Each structure stands twice: as C-alpha cells, then as structure tokens.
Amino acid sequence: MKHTSVRQQLLSLVFLVSLYSSASACAAQQVVVDTGHTTEKPGAIGHNGKREFDLNRQLTIALIKALRAKGLSVTDVAAAGSPQSLQARTQASSGAALFISIHHDSMQQAWLDAGRSREFSGYALFVSVGKPQYARSLACAKNIGRGMQAIGEHPSLYHATPIAGENRPLIDSALGIHRFDDLVVLKTAEAPALLLEVGVLANPDEEPRLAAPQFADRAANAIANGILQCLPAEQ
C-alpha cells in the first residue's frame, strides 16, 4: 500500500509539473492585440472620410488571423469598439509575451491647416524605455520595423519633428522606433509592449492604400513575422 501511495504521489507530481510547463509555454506565446480607439471616438479621419478605428480594426483582424496561423495564442482587446479605459485595455497583458496596440497616424491640426499633410508617410513604432521589459519591447519593435520595410514600407519620423507636442526621441531612426515613456498603454502594460502607427492616414495620398484590405493582409503578415521572431522559444 505504501509503495502504491508513493507511486501515485509521484505520478500526480509529474502530471502537475507537466501542466505547469504547458501553461508556461502557452503563456510565453500569448500575444495581446489592441484595436486603438473606439467607434464613438474613432481617432484620425482621412481626407476621404476613412476612420482610424475602422482601419485599426481591419488590420487587427488580419493580424490576429496571421498570428494564429503561426500557432500563437491571441487575446483580442477592444474588439467591439466600445469605450474602454486605456488601463483596462492592458489588463489582459499579465503573463503575455507581448502587448501591441494598432493605430493609424494623424498630424497636428496646425500642420494640416498649413497644407502640410503630404509631407509624411510611413509607419512609426513606440516603446517605453522605463519598463522592466524594455529589452523585449525594443527587440519586437526592431523586428516589426524590419518586417514593414521588407514589404516596402518606410518610417515616417513625423513624431520626431521638433515641434510642441511631438519631438519624440528616436531610439532607432532607420527602423522608425521612438521613445514614449508616458504613453498609457505602454506604461501600464504588464508585458513587453509597443504601439504601432501603421501609416499616416492624414496624408490624402496614403488613405486609399491604407484602407485597402490587401494592404492590411500584407502588413499583418509582416508584423506577425516580426512578432514571431522576438518571442521566447516554447519550452
């Protein structure tokens, strides 16, 4: 009886360790994808009326599909487009490998009023240097930047412009990565985190291209490839 009891205990212990290892591996491959803005406050509006939230959602749907096709587990945040605090958006990031918030860029109104909306195009990436997970956040940002450039995209660098409200320090100008320590979704995320402005919606020449589903699919695959390269290996 004693031998049976010990054997059962050992088997139970092995089973629990196996469960824990599996859970850890899954958590290591969990990606949280946030659709920026809401239906009520949709963010930037393009020259032809395209709303940022709608383009964000189109891209996140494509990205989630691409990530799941690569075997990753994905949490879809703010999918319904209903009002949700920025802090609430990041709650799902606890234990995840990455939190990524998807946006499309605007410009300051004074810039638009001056007729300068065509001066910038391209993507922008933001990370918070002050977070403990900064190294992983930066690694993912770099891989995503390389992925975007592999499909012909380029950094806009608009947010590094030395004007009030912008002037974001560049961590990597070649890859379009900016430092933004006070950005709420980056500051409150418990996982490595980054925000991606996929393109400049305020540029009327870019709006039709950014709104095309074909572009969303290409960009999503590039982003997914970059994410896959920076995640910890499954155990």
Q: What is the pTM of this model?
A: 0.85
**Average pLDDT value for residue range 85-91:** 78
DSSP string covering the chain: -HHHHHHHHHHHHHHHHHHHHHHHHHHHTEEEEEE-S-SSS---B-TT--BHHHHHHHHHHHHHHHHHHTT-EEEEESTT-----HHHHTGGGTT-SEEEEEEEE---HHHHHTT-TTS--SBEEEE-TTSTTHHHHHHHHHHHHHHHHHTT--B--GGGSSSTT--PPEEETTTTEEE-TT-HHHHH-SS-EEEEEEEETTSTTTHHHHH-HHHHHHHHHHHHHHHHHHSPPP-
Position 5 pLDDT exceeds 70: no
**What domains are defined for the chain?**
29-230 (3.40.630.40)
Query: Average pLDDT, whole number, for the chain?
Result: 86
- The pLDDT tens digits for 112-166 are 889 899 999 999 999 999 888 999 999 999 999 999 999 999 999 999 999 988 9
Q: What is the pLDDT of residue 89?
A: 82
| Confidence tier at 83 by pLDDT (50, 70, 90) | low
